[in-house]
Amino acid sequence: MAKQNPSDLFPHWYFDVPTEAQLKRLESEEIRPFAGMTKGQASDLIGTTEPVEEEDLEALQHFNRPLRGMNQTRARHELALLFQDPANRESWEQRPPSSRLKEKCRFLGVKLSTGMTHKAADSALQSKYMALEEAGDPLAARFDGYVDVLTEFDDPVFREDYEIKKPSPTQIRAAIEALVADKASEGATWDSVCTETDKIAERLLELYPALAK
């Protein structure tokens, strides 16, 4: 069997140098960095002190995995191994639509029928998106920006830099809309605000102080 390339198993940033925020967080947890530690390894160490992410928890429950003693890092690694099996990936795709997917469908106005699987719902979402994009509908561009922001805040390393807990899609949308309203006189749009994730993080902490770590 051919060896897998490490880049196939880890995100592109995994082998970068740890950030100052990560080093500060490790110090606060009394975890000593080691020589040659990467950004991803620092994230893994920090993740041992964090609870399991919402979507990862959903996946672990789907596969009936024990949750006792589970942390963010252990959950990510266990799921990475599970999803190497095509049968497990198919089982995951055939589950009911996740809350995140439902949120995306609501954003684009995609109606989901009773009993629709996650895979079918995602297909319906992609079809609607492609139709909007081909028609030049600005909603498609707004959706792109929104998904980019959701992805950023899904990243534990990104959140560490801003010392913020994972916000819900509803909270993220509220923060974006608040920033658009604040900068309306400057010609701010949903698209332009979605590129300013630092401002979104700041507004999230203003609107929802409980998100602060």
pTM of the full structure: 0.66
Measured CA to CA, the distance from residue 70 to residue 51 in angstroms comes to 8
In degrees rounded to 5, what are phi and psi of residue 204? -60, -45
Quick one: CA dihedral 158, 50, 206, 187, positive or negative? positive
Q: pLDDT by residue (tens digit) across 32-69?
A: 999 999 999 999 999 999 888 878 988 999 999 998 88
Q: pLDDT by residue (tens digit) across 57-113?
A: 889 999 999 988 899 999 999 999 999 999 999 999 889 998 889 999 999 999 999
The closest of 207, 148, 153 to 175, measured between CA atoms, is 207
Domain boundaries, given as residue ranges, for the chain: 11-93, 99-211
Question: How many helices (H) does the chain have, and how many strands (E)?
Answer: 13, 0
Q: pLDDT by residue (tens digit) across 146-192?
A: 999 998 898 887 888 888 998 998 899 999 999 999 888 788 888 88
Measured CA to CA, the distance from residue 3 to residue 32 in angstroms comes to 32
b/e code 139-148 from CB counts within 10 Å (16+ = b): bbbbbebbee
Quick one: CA dihedral 148, 153, 154, 158, positive or negative? positive
